[in-house]
Copies of this chain bind each other. A is one copy, B any other.
Amino acid sequence: MALVRASLHVVDHPLTAEATSPAALVGPTDGAIASFLGVVRDHHHGQAVRSLRYECYVPMAEHQLERIAEAVGAELGEQPLVVSVWHGYGEMVPGDVSLAVHCASPHRVAAFDACRAVVEAIKADLPIWKEERYADGSARWLKGS
């Protein structure tokens, strides 16, 4: 099986260094680690974002992360894959890290492809919703990303 290990976390706060650093995946067998961080931005389509709230259907999100890790591992064929994913929810402000994905594999193409595929699948299928609150006092649920 291509998926060697998956470490999947949905947590009710912005991500901390434990989540954002790829250090936990560094070891002597995997030569390449590709990572992605999603960071809360202070602007969206020209509007100044003051804060936001991620709502999460937690048990489904955890289950879907397992599905995503398995599917991306299977796509890699024989390449071994170690995946670590953290998604935060709740209140966040610009500069907070909401998503961290780390993918380790012996070779760089597999690591890059896997990381991008995991991020795209999260954007498509993870039951998490972002409500942005703007500097003018209005708020809005984002639809898609």
Contact = CB atoms under 8 A, between A and B. Distances in A.
Give the one of A26, A37, A111, A116 with max B CB within 10 A.
Answer: A37
> What DSSP secondary structure best describes chain A's contact surface?
mixed
- Work out how many copies of this chain go into the complex: 2
A37 B41 contact: no
A27 to B, nearest CB: 6
Nearest to A28: B94
A108 B33 CA distance: 17
A21 interface: yes
A25 to B, nearest CB: 8
Interface residues on A, range: 20 to 34
Interface in A1-60: 17, 20-23, 26-43
A20 B29 contact: no
Give the one of A22, A42, A43 with max B CB within 10 A.
Answer: A22
Interface of A: 17, 20-23, 26-43, 94-95, 97, 106, 108, 111-112, 115-116, 119
